[in-house]
Amino acid sequence: MGPRFSLQTAGAWLVSSSTFGYIGAFGVYQDYYIRTFMTSQSASAISWIGSTQIGLVFMTGSVSGKLLDMGYFHWCIGIGSFIYVSRLFMLSLGHENSYYQVFLPQAIRLGIGQGLLFLPSVGIISHHFAKRRSLATGIVFTGSSCGGMMSPIILDNIIKRAGFGWGVCATGLVVLDAAASETYSLQGPFVGHSGVMNHRPYLLKVLGIFIAQLGIWFPISISTICESPVVQLTILNAASILGRTLPNFISDRIGVFNVMIPCSTIGGVLVFAMFGVKSSGALVVFAVLYDFFSGSFFSLMSPLIVSLADHMHEVGPRLGFAFTVIGISTLIGTPISGALLSDDYSVILFLAGSGRLAATRAMRAWHKALFRV
């Protein structure tokens, strides 16, 4: 792995850290909004900010994936960075109990800006790495875990000491610095032409990912292992670092699909195991294990999709379509979970676990049509 490829990985790592890593700080935002900043709004209305943001990060993939394939990689990075950073500073000017002044910049515009950054950075890793693609992708995805540990701590401490506006501005400066570094280090892929997407194994695996995404966040959201959202986010993101690297390292040797299926199956079984969680210690163990296998699911998703492409110029469109489907699933999964929520979480836990196992079955159904994934 030469210096040029290491530079690509470092640049993509910064994108992952400043996009999904920063999304990890939404727990701090949500806690502050509920307790102080938007007391007139319901918890459900506030949760829509986070779910819309992460949904748009994925759904923007249909645009950024096409632009990546057409050779507009640096345009995606430049425009995405501008939208992302400028909307953060706009968010810092929001007034208390003004829902639209928070929803528009944070949910809509941040989501679009982050989406224009995220998929191209994952896509170029697939272009530049052939032998160790899964490991390189896993290393890139550890950026979201590290960012998910740092961003909540920075944001929470500055909000407590200097107020909401200064807290958001400070994180905006961190993102601005990361954006400048990633723009310098990342190099676009070769230009190609979009491939067809009527490949049945590919479509069925995207369907499986869609089903899994519907309930994948719910077990994490109800696993309150400590009172401080900052400490909880730090613990969970730390647990996911190993889950984003070890399975990817193994998958480069035995195949992505051969690792993803066991990880997805164990994730589904763990959801059912939550019925037996009765103590805080058991809850911590569950949360750490579930975040490990959820992290592996996310980090193996892109290598799996890329492995189904016949040519590298299909990577952008295939990732874009898959990410759009994932975004829709993420966007509708939260309100569905809220509507089905009961006092003992039994219905939604059953559906979340069943969804993961059904997703595994769907992804496995056409595997025999492939020689090695």
Per-residue confidence band for 373, with pLDDT thresholds at 50, 70 and 90: very low
pLDDT of residue 112: 92
pLDDT reading at 277 higher than 80:
no
**What does the pLDDT read at residue 371?**
47
On the question of pLDDT at 189 being above 60, the answer is no
Mean pLDDT across 294-318: 80
Confidence of residue 33 (pLDDT cuts 50, 70, 90): very high
More confident residue, 212 or 197: 212
What's the confidence (pLDDT) of residue 62? 80
Other CB atoms within 10 Å distance of the CB of residue 278: 8
pLDDT of residue 104: 92
**Is the confidence at residue 194, as pLDDT, over 80?**
no
* pLDDT tens column, 213-270: 777 776 666 555 556 666 777 777 777 888 888 988 898 888 888 898 888 889 888 8
pLDDT at 305 over 60: yes
CA-nearest of 316, 295, 289 to 305 is: 316
Q: 104-123 pLDDT, tens per residue?
A: 999 998 989 988 988 888 87
CA distance 303 to 136: 10
pLDDT: which is higher, 25 or 39: 39
Ordered by start, the domain boundaries in the chain are 3-369
Per CATH, the homologous superfamily of domain 3-369 is MFS general substrate transporter like domains (1.20.1250.20)
Candidate from 137-141, 208-212, 253-257 with smallest mean pLDDT? 208-212
**Mean of the pLDDT values across residues 273-279?**
80
Please count the other Cβ atoms lying within 10 Å of the Cβ belonging to residue 340. 17
pLDDT at 23 over 80: yes
The 3-state secondary structure of the chain, one letter per residue: CCHHHHHHHHHHHHHHHHCHHHHCCHHHHHHHHHHHHCCCCCHHHHHHHHHHHHHHHHHCHHHHHHHHHHCCHHHHHHHHHHHHHHHHHHHCCCCCCCHHHHHHHHHHHHHHHHHHHHHHHHHHHHHHCCCCHHHHHHHHHHHHHHHHHHHHHHHHHHHHHHCHHHHHHHHHHHHHHHHHHHHHHCCCCCCCCCCCCCCHHHHHHHHHHHHHHHHCCHHHHHCCCCCCHHHHHHHHHHHHHHHCCHHHHHHHHHCHHHHHHHHHHHHHHHHHHHHHCCCHHHHHHHHHHHHHHHHHHHHHHHHHHHHCCCCHHHHHHHHHHHHHHHHHHHHHHHHHHHHCCCCCCHHHHHHHHHHHHHHHHHHHHCHHHCCCC
Report whether pLDDT(293) > 90. no
pTM of the model: 0.81
Chain CA centroid to CA 372, Å: 26
**What mean pLDDT value characterizes the chain?**
80
Asked whether the beta carbons of 307 and 256 are under 8 A apart, the reply is yes
Return the top range by mean pLDDT from 5-9, 189-193, 288-292: 288-292
What percent of the chain has pLDDT above 70?
Answer: 84
- Report whether pLDDT(136) > 60: yes
Which pLDDT score is estimated for 343?
Answer: 61
pLDDT at 103: 93
